[in-house]
Amino acid sequence: MITKSLFFEAGATVTIEIGGPENAYKTQIEEVTEETIVVQPLMRGTQMLKLTTGQKVTLIAEKRMNPYFFETTVASASHVEGEVISIQRPPDRSGAQKRSFVRIDVVIPQTQVWVEKDGKYGPTVQGTILNISAGGARLMTKEPLPSETDVLLKFMLPQKFGQIMTTGQTIGSWEVVGEGGKSYRTTLKFVDLKDKDRDVIIKFVFQRERDLRQRGVL
């Protein structure tokens, strides 16, 4: 007998985020089992989004018009047209009504990244942070960064908030082609971020949010 969920049922529409709200995809639940939630493929325009088994995602379901956020992983994914995606079914009690950290758009150039391989950090990759929270960031680089990989990150927060240096883990990466040519976007989460650095980022994000509201941008 399948335990009934308060949030997940066949036919319901849910949202799956990959690395943050800038990569959110609505989909429909096909089936709910004790272990998994089976959903329709995620589409970016006319292209099927490729997911990997074990990839971390945020599953968003609504209850009484309120969103609930569930951190979970991809159980299995096929990239054949018409196939479905299986997500690990999170416990109902694990849903949160608010995100862990507020995320804000920003441009932080001259961000330095070192990718870990075989226990050592490789050569410096130059990038630009495009948005940030106390939990992670989205990065733009001229070369792709591997997913699910440990990195070392160093950047300078604007408005004299100071330098941050921390370890992180990449979550997902994709290619973007624009007027300036080809570049790559990578979402990452901070790992072992010092408490004092987390407090500084939170203060910066709130200050940035206030500035944007005063300018009428938010």
pLDDT band at 1 (very low <50, low <70, confident <90, very high): low
Two domains, one topology: 13-94 and 104-214: yes
Better-predicted residue by pLDDT, 163 or 119: 163
SS3 83: coil
Nearest to 146 by CA among 169, 123, 120, 112: 169
Give the single-character DSSP code of 212. Answer: H
Q: What pLDDT score does 46 carry?
A: 82
Domain spanning 104-214: which CATH class is it, in words? mainly beta
Check: CB of residue 145 under 8 Å from CB of residue 133. Answer: no
Better-predicted residue by pLDDT, 49 or 1: 49
Give the single-character DSSP code of 11. Answer: T
Tens of pLDDT, residue by residue over 22-39, are 678 999 999 999 999 999
Q: What pLDDT score does 134 carry?
A: 87
Domain range summary for the chain, segments of one domain joined by + = 13-94, 104-214
pLDDT at 97 over 80: no
Q: Give the mean model confidence (pLDDT) for residues 104-111.
A: 94
Check: CB of residue 156 under 8 Å from CB of residue 108. Answer: yes
Q: What pLDDT score does 107 carry?
A: 95
- Alpha-carbon gap, residue 110 to 102, rounded angstroms: 23
- Alpha-carbon gap, residue 94 to 71, rounded angstroms: 8
Give the architecture (CATH level 2) of 13-94: Beta Barrel (2.40)
